[in-house]
Structure 1
């Protein structure tokens, strides 16, 4: 049996405390202002994974309001003294309910890319500049397709420290930490699963779509990707809808978006050659 922890990547960013006064409401921890980006969604995802593996101690530790408070207080303690800038927190949950972490600095990101009101229509080079909830399209990430296929599994659906399939895909595409690049994994049906560190969104039939993923893992359903926090946030706010995305439907140079719990929503272009 693979030895692993459940984990999630959380953005610590004091600028998030200013979100309500900038017009961004109903976005914080437990619906209150918080420097921890989408913390309640991170907790929910970790809890679903713990339930799947029947980690009873972990389930008890992070369930309900008290469980959310436990995680919040842990994060508050580890961010004391880190300064006013954003940081990446790699938070891991063990079978016994204990938490561990790694922390490192993270670049600034506009609030509109963390909490977009919508994703710009494909080809629209001049979005409404009066709308402060339109995410910036800079920088532009290069989005590649993996050269091999990846089988759907519990470890592609739930985020854990067992990440060999993602690391190998990044190695095949020669992506290094910090590169403005992402690689899309493809399942055995030839459909896009997700990015190696992100959820992906594509423009299809006049709307943004993202590969389907059930809330709980079922091998017969969905495209096999991770049930990500920003993905859930986008679907709940109708920024995108679920739809199967065949890998062979992608066109070189087409616009897309990717998102994750560290950088929010990032613009990209597909690179097939």
Structure 2
């Protein structure tokens, strides 16, 4: 396949998922004014950086950095920096669109989630269940002894999946931007705030021991130009001895035994499935309207939590997602079972093909199924997740009279 092209089957799969008839009837894409969007978490805590003791004026060339090999393997960083726009990428893009490829991965259709089963076997969670990864290294190393590009790749959460989705959106909307993995990573690093004007290599060394996380907002225009904004994120309060435990305790905290931290509301009206639900763009009128509805619903709830999300569904009453998150519903496989499972809607519902959704499916922490929003009740636990906040717990706070819809 020629460089820079995706095969017809990949785009046909997308159109089938979101319903070509719906698109043609409701949207004239060529006349729409929008940007393709990606929001990526930059977090230095995904890598460990150590400074020599007793020296306040550290030369950055002598900072020590270590990557957690378990975390690196989980992020699938191998080959990302060496990949280009060749045909080999197209098969990977089809993999996550094709639900059969998801079911043939390590995900079990009968997945039951409890601390003694899948969670204990997965290296992401081993630090919580007595198989701690010892993050040590003999001797000293300098920045030159490790690949600094790999360090920065690992600091951008699920960067490889973000890249794939950007490429898919560009191909679907037929926008001309020859985006390569190295180009995306370079532009992200260039966009990290720093006072000095430095070369890319010097900037990476200067920021190596900085700990501030950022929400990177990637905006691609129809003319092929790209803009990246960096918005500072609050630091997590939980400190961890290893990078993969940091991921579990903070970005996968929704799976841990904590009380729900978000209120979840059900939108009182359906939304129309479109390319602007499947792909992340700046055309968000449907989500903004749902969030306006949420603000009204919050007025009738006692003791609302500080953070809230609203669930949206299509005209077949199929749950899709939240306005800013993908979602999964917690349930027990049987009434008397102590185990539980999290089920996320199929892509065919019209939901966003989110990077964290795919990550959790690939790790066997979610299963896919069609979810009827009319089956949801007040008090049901919902897992909310995206590439910035990771996974958090929510609980449904309202009911909807669907007889009027």
Aligned partner of 1:7 in structure 2 is: 37
Question: Could you tell me how far apart the structure 1 residues matched to 2:344 and 2:193 are?
Answer: 37
Structure 1 stretch displaced more, 186-195 or 104-113: 104-113
Per-residue CA deviation, residues 183-208 of structure 1 (Å, 9 max, x unaligned), is 00111001111000001011233421
Question: 244, 258, 269: which is aligned to 1:148?
Answer: 269
> Could you tell me how far 1:256 is from its partner in structure 2?
1.7
Per-residue CA deviation, residues 112-159 of structure 1 (Å, 9 max, x unaligned), is 15664x974xxxxxxxxxxxxxx4636611111011110111111111
Q: Relative to structure 1, is the Cα distance of residues 80 and 262 closer, same or farther in structure 2, using a 3 angstrom cutoff?
A: same
Aligned partner of 1:72 in structure 2 is: 185
Question: Could you tell me how far apart the structure 2 residues matched to 1:255 and 1:153 are?
Answer: 27
Counterparts of residues 231-246 of structure 1 (less than 5 Å): 231-246=357-372
> Could you tell me how far 1:252 is from its partner in structure 2?
1.0
Question: Could you tell me how far apart the structure 2 residues matched to 1:40 and 1:232 are?
Answer: 12
Aligned partner of 2:345 in structure 1 is: 211
Question: Could you tell me how far apart the structure 2 residues matched to 1:171 and 1:49 are?
Answer: 27
Partners of 1:185 and 1:196 within 8 A in 2: yes
> Could you tell me how far 1:21 is from its partner in structure 2?
3.1
Per-residue CA deviation, residues 81-114 of structure 1 (Å, 9 max, x unaligned), is 2852111111111233321122212123442156
Partners of 1:119 and 1:239 within 8 A in 2: no
Q: Relative to structure 1, is the Cα distance of residues 113 and 189 closer, same or farther in structure 2, using a 3 angstrom cutoff?
A: farther
Q: Relative to structure 1, is the Cα distance of residues 17 and 28 closer, same or farther in structure 2, using a 3 angstrom cutoff?
A: farther
1:26 is paired with a residue whose SS is: helix
Partners of 1:11 and 1:37 within 8 A in 2: yes
Counterparts of residues 194-205 of structure 1 (less than 5 Å): 194-204=321-331, 205=333
Question: Could you tell me how far apart the structure 2 residues matched to 1:228 and 1:247 are?
Answer: 20
> Could you tell me how far 1:40 is from its partner in structure 2?
0.8
Question: Could you tell me how far apart the structure 1 residues matched to 2:76 and 2:211 are?
Answer: 19
Q: Relative to structure 1, is the Cα distance of residues 113 and 258 closer, same or farther in structure 2, using a 3 angstrom cutoff?
A: farther
* Aligned-residue RMSD, C-alpha: 2.5
Structure 1 stretch displaced more, 160-169 or 30-39: 30-39
1:112 and 2:248 equivalent? yes
Q: Relative to structure 1, is the Cα distance of residues 169 and 159 closer, same or farther in structure 2, using a 3 angstrom cutoff?
A: same
Counterparts of residues 170-189 of structure 1 (less than 5 Å): 170-174=291-295, 179-189=306-316
Q: Where do 4+ consecutive residues of structure 1 move more than 6 Å?
A: none
Higher relative CO (Cα under 8 Å, sequence separation at least 6) belongs to 2
Quick check: which one's strand share is greater?
1
Partners of 2:214 and 2:232 within 8 A in 1: yes
Quick check: which one's helix share is greater?
2
1:42 is paired with a residue whose SS is: helix
Q: Relative to structure 1, is the Cα distance of residues 142 and 115 closer, same or farther in structure 2, using a 3 angstrom cutoff?
A: closer
1:174 is paired with a residue whose SS is: helix
Aligned partner of 1:268 in structure 2 is: 394
Question: Could you tell me how far apart the structure 1 residues matched to 2:259 and 2:47 are?
Answer: 24
Aligned partner of 2:356 in structure 1 is: 230
1:30 and 2:164 equivalent? no
Aligned partner of 1:95 in structure 2 is: 222
Aligned partner of 1:47 in structure 2 is: 167
2:73 is paired with a residue whose SS is: coil
Question: Could you tell me how far apart the structure 1 residues matched to 2:32 and 2:306 are?
Answer: 29
Larger radius of gyration: 2
> Could you tell me how far 1:26 is from its partner in structure 2?
1.4
> Could you tell me how far 1:29 is from its partner in structure 2?
6.9
Question: Could you tell me how far apart the structure 1 residues matched to 2:165 and 2:357 are?
Answer: 11
Unaligned runs of 5+ in 2: 1-30, 49-65, 79-149, 196-209, 237-245, 299-304, 334-339, 400-405
Aligned partner of 1:21 in structure 2 is: 68
Question: 363, 366, 376: which is aligned to 1:250?
Answer: 376
